[in-house]
Homo-oligomer: A and B are copies of this chain.
Amino acid sequence: MKNNNRKQEIIKAGTSLISNNGYNATGIDSILKKASVPKGSFYHYFQNKENFGLAVIDKFAHDYNNMLDKFFSDINFTPLNRIRNYLEHIIEYLTQKQFTKGCLIGNLGQELSDQNECFRQKLDAIFLIWKQKFKACFEEAQKIGELNTDILPEAIADFFLASLEGAILRAKVTKSPEPLENFLKILFSKILTK
């Protein structure tokens, strides 16, 4: 295994374990066992567990941003239909996963925001990037007359992000798509209207 591949394997194994069990409950030993790499490797690539955790978050955020850009730059759909496509994708994905895992950024935000200021700032910055992408989409929807202009795009984006995170959490606890489906229904019938 080449150096960079091995590092990526460790991050991949860690992402899976942290998604399932949280950051604190994931030990370095279990990560290395899952990645099938020798124990000494960890400190070759990462200074410490925190440094590794931040690398896991960076990789997840990088991949998630690419996914968001795929949906939000798709000019075959109107801005509000891009939002709908993204939500339907999330519902389909979480249904496939039987509502396990939830959102890694939301999970770690819940777990670590009061424990580690470095993690909190990174997670907050990632949420801000997502919010900016949603905001740009709602701005475009207002510009072409697809969305009423009585609420600022910034406020709608903030509300959308928080409510989506809440619906993902509720789906995880109740093991059903219902909270996500209710969110989509009320969002499009009450908030994202002309």
A residues engaging B (CB < 8 A)? 20-22, 24-25, 100-102, 106-107, 109-111, 113-115, 120, 123-124, 127, 150-151, 155-156, 158-159, 161-167, 169-170, 172-175, 178-179, 182-183, 185-186, 189-191
Contacts and interface: CB of A to CB of B under 8 A. Distances in A.
A178 B191 contact: no
Given A101-B114, A179-B158, A169 B173 contact: no
Contacts of A165: 166, 169-170
A106 B24 contact: no
Contact of A110 (B162, B172, B183): B172
B186 A162 contact: no
Nearest to A186: B159
Contacts of A161: 166, 170
Query: Which applies to chain A's interface (DSSP): helix, strand, loop or mixed?
Result: helix
B186 A20 contact: no
Contact of A163 (B107, B156, B163): B163
13 contacts: A20-B115, A21-B24, A109-B170, A113-B172, A124-B174, A151-B189, A156-B186, A159-B179, A161-B166, A162-B179, A163-B166, A166-B166, A166-B169
Contact of A162 (B113, B115, B170): B170
Contact of A182 (B158, B178, B179): B158
Nearest to A98: B114
Contacts of A127: 170, 173-174
Contacts of A174: 124, 127
Contact of A164 (B101, B107, B151, B166): B166
Given A114-B20, A163-B166, A190-B190, A109 B182 contact: no
Contacts of A164: 166
Nearest to A97: B114
B170 A182 contact: no
